[in-house]
């Protein structure tokens, strides 16, 4: 007899002394049979002459009945059991009477009358409640400190299981398309993905350090030179960055690379992959996924990670305001700036909330924010008096404003206007319920610039990484004009993956490195092994890497990647469970030939 669809049969164990059935598999087919179950006491209720215990294992919960008429010894133990004790029972599956059926749980129409029971381990009182589906309101520090208890909670278990199914689907799809899974080293040399490296001192070569990989980028390219043609890996990556909500110092990528392809092939293979993988989370990806040029994404959404589930697009008002005498707009237009706006839809907002929006825009870096409600042919707005009727009508037309619509306008540099309006756009859509619940929006961002000017470093920096191929000719005299053969994939406003066609020609690679300020000697020292490999016959190749944690968080509807990582770190990079990072013995440091400067007080 087999278990319900997604619960695999338990393999026969020697003697089956602990259990022979998953708790979640108790069902109609088992009525009248004797079963053994094992797990944790989810909840215990004492009803005078009877003790009811909800037994929980990985597959679900089932009610046990301890009745002195069935077994005095088991009943006595039932009295003593406490939440989270580990038990094993033997008993008979019976149907519950109609009035005691519990529709909340899958096994709710049955229960197990216990004939024998054993406590395998007693549990201390947990620091927070484990049973139930509620949010764990305990602080995150405590959840991570007792992560093994937090993981017992049903929503957490489901998220981790979903992650496993997603990874399995990735392997299924890629194996099916002829990809080979290959591991690459964790102790390696620096891979330039633009973050700080984690370093590991070498004991055998004192004074030298391994770097933990920021990605397997260089190795996967070497695997293409090696002729594997299609590679993938569920890869651990390490980036020593200041942490943000959706970042972890160690995180997981689905990394892949293909030979004899152009961007079209990579994009199509990945659309099939996404479609297959997200189906396991019940999400249907419509193909083809729309593509948006990088410049258009910035112009229309103010960001290269646009959430395309709703409109409220940014519009350039420079045309409508070309002749304006309004000082604020004039200054932006005459300077190097822009005047851009969004139509936030029909709203009634009190003055205090409008002031709040101005403050929000200023926090985001804008000098100010103009608000206006379309009223008749003009505006209701403190700014209306500074604009002519023609200008008001022009702006209304550009923003598609209808009566009562709220218009928000920023005059600033393009970068600031895009950032401010792009951020307000997504925040307000969320706040005002403009995002259809349960909807999903995907897009590719294509046609990227190859380089951007890095103000802080005073040099050109790659938008992706230095191995990204450029489109057409590379003009060293005009680095800003160079286009990259790169593509990012965005889901509901989160970048979930990015990649490119790579430079296959060593001379072209050296030219790009030179533009980045890496001269031949430094290139040789840092990437000599790659440049050398490219001289031995590199096939045209390209690939992509996905943030697995982010994909799983989005697929499980969680807003934090920590909810889909079994043992994540806190926002400050620590692990409250193990206490990592931690000071080490002086002797260990001596062996490594290094000494620590005075540690920061903790
Ligand atoms: N190595 C890149 C990254 O980690 C992805 C790629 O170009 O394939 O972002």
SS3 state of residue 208:
coil
Q: Where are the strands (E) in 526-587, listed by range?
A: 541-547
- The model's confidence at residue 193, banded by pLDDT at 50, 70 and 90, is confident
| Mean pLDDT of all residues in 160-175 | 98
Could you tell me the CATH number of the domain that includes residue 404?
A: 3.30.1360.30
Q: How far is CA 242 from CA 192, 364, 494, in A?
A: 17, 19, 18
Of 373, 403, 431, which marks where a domain is finished?
431
Tens digit of each residue's pLDDT (9 = 90 or more) over 283-319: 999 999 999 999 999 999 999 999 999 999 999 999 9
Q: For residue 346, tell me if it sits in a domain.
A: yes
Q: Which atom of ligand 1 is nearest to the CA of 217?
A: 1
Identify whether the C-beta of residue 254 lies closer than 8 Å to the C-beta of residue 232: yes
| Mean pLDDT of all residues in 573-597 | 93
| Mean pLDDT of all residues in 32-57 | 95
Residue to probe by mutation, ligand 1, list 184, 270, 468, 498, most atoms within 8 Å of CB = 498
Q: Which atom of ligand 1 is nearest to the CA of 468?
A: 7
Identify the pLDDT of residue 16.
60
Domain count, the chain: 3
| Mean pLDDT of all residues in 390-409 | 98
- The model's confidence at residue 246, banded by pLDDT at 50, 70 and 90, is confident
Examine the domain organization and report whether 278 and 314 are in the same domain.
no
Judged against a pLDDT cut of 60, whether residue 114 lies above it is answered with yes
- The model's confidence at residue 592, banded by pLDDT at 50, 70 and 90, is very high
Identify whether the C-beta of residue 55 lies closer than 8 Å to the C-beta of residue 39: yes
Identify the pLDDT of residue 3.
58
Distance 217 CA to ligand 1 centre (A): 6
| Domain residue limits at 37 | 23-121
Q: For residue 485, tell me if it sits in a domain.
A: yes
Examine the domain organization and report whether 383 and 450 are in the same domain.
no
Identify the pLDDT of residue 1.
46
Q: Which atom of ligand 1 is nearest to the CA of 502?
A: 7
Higher-confidence position of 121 and 136:
121
Give the phi and the psi of residue 461 in degrees, each rounded to 5.
-130, 150
Could you tell me the CATH number of the domain that includes residue 471?
A: 3.30.930.10
Examine the domain organization and report whether 552 and 458 are in the same domain.
yes
Q: For residue 299, tell me if it sits in a domain.
A: no
Q: Which atom of ligand 1 is nearest to the CA of 542?
A: 8
544 lines ligand 1 (CB under 6 A): yes
Tens digit of each residue's pLDDT (9 = 90 or more) over 266-284: 999 999 999 999 999 999 9
548 lines ligand 1 (CB under 6 A): no
543 lines ligand 1 (CB under 6 A): yes
Identify the pLDDT of residue 548.
98
Q: 207 in the Ramachandran plot: left (φ > 0), alpha (ψ -120 to 50) or beta?
A: left
498 lines ligand 1 (CB under 6 A): yes
Examine the domain organization and report whether 474 and 582 are in the same domain.
yes
Give the phi and the psi of residue 196 in degrees, each rounded to 5.
-80, 145
Distance 499 CA to ligand 1 centre (A): 5
**pLDDT cut 90: percent of the chain above it:** 91
Identify the pLDDT of residue 501.
98
CA distance 271 to 541: 18
Identify the pLDDT of residue 598.
67
């Amino acid at each position: 007899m087999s278990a319900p669809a997604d619960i695999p049969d338990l393999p026969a164990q020697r003697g089956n002394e602990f259990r022979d059935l998953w708790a979640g598999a108790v069902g109609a087919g088992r009525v009248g049979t004797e079963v053994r179950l094992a797990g944790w006491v989810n909840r215990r209720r004492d009803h005078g002459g009877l003790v009811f215990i909800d037994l929980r294992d990985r597959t679900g919960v089932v009610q046990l009945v301890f009745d002195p008429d069935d077994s005095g010894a088991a009943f006595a133990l039932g009295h003593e059991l406490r939440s989270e004790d580990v038990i094993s029972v033997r008993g008979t599956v019976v149907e519950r009477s109609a009035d005691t059926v519990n529709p909340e749980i899958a096994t709710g129409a049955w229960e197990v009358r216990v004939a024998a029971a054993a406590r395998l381990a007693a549990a201390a009182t947990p620091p927070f409640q484990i049973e139930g589906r509620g949010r764990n309101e305990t602080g995150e520090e405590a959840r991570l400190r007792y992560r093994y208890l937090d993981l017992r909670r049903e929503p957490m278990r489901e998220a981790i299981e979903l992650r496993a199914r997603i990874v399995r689907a990735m392997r299924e799809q890629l194996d099916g398309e002829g990809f080979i899974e290959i591991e690459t080293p964790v102790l390696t040399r620096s891979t330039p993905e633009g973050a700080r490296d984690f370093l590991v001192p070498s004991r055998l070569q004192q004074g030298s350090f391994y770097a933990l990989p920021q990605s397997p980028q260089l190795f996967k390219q070497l695997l293409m030179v090696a002729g594997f043609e299609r590679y993938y890996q569920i890869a651990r990556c390490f980036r020593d960055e200041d942490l943000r909500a959706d970042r972890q110092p160690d995180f997981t990528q689905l990394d892949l690379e293909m030979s004899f392809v152009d961007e079209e092939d990579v994009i199509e293979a990945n659309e099939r992959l996404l479609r297959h993988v997200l189906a396991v989370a019940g999400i249907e990806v419509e193909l083809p996924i729309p593509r948006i040029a990088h410049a258009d994404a910035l112009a229309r959404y103010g960001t290269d990670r646009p959430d395309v589930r709703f409109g409220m697009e940014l519009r350039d008002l420079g045309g409508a305001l070309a002749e304006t005498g309004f000082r604020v707009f004039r200054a932006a237009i005459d300077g190097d700036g822009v005047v851009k706006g969004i139509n936030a839809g029909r709203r009634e907002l009190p003055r205090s909330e409008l002031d709040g929006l101005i403050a929000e825009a200023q926090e985001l870096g804008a000098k100010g924010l103009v608000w206006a409600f379309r009223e008749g042919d003009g505006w209701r707005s403190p700014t209306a008096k500074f604009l002519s009727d023609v200008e008001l009508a022009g702006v209304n037309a550009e923003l598609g404003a209808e009566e009562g619509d709220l218009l928000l306008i920023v005059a600033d540099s393009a970068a600031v206007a895009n950032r401010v309006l792009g951020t307000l756009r997504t925040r307000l859509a969320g706040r005002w319920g403009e995002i259809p619940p349960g909807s999903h929006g995907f897009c590719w961002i294509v046609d990227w610039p190859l380089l951007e000017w890095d103000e802080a470093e005073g040099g050109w920096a790659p938008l992706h990484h230095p191995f990204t191929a450029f489109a057409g000719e590379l003009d060293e005299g005009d680095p800003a004009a160079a286009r990259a053969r790169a593509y990012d994939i965005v889901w509901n406003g989160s970048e979930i993956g990015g990649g490119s066609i790579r430079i296959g020609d060593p001379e072209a690679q050296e030219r790009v490195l030179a533009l980045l300020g890496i001269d031949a000697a430094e290139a040789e020292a840092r990437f000599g092994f790659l440049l050398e490999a490219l001289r031995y016959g590199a096939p045209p190749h390209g690939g992509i890497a996905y943030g697995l944690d982010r994909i799983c968080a989005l697929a499980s509807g969680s807003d934090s990647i920590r909810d889909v990582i079994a043992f994540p770190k806190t926002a400050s990079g620590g692990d409250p469970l193990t206490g990592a990072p931690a000071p080490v013995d002086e002797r260990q440091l001596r062996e490594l030939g290094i000494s620590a400067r005075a540690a920061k007080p903790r």
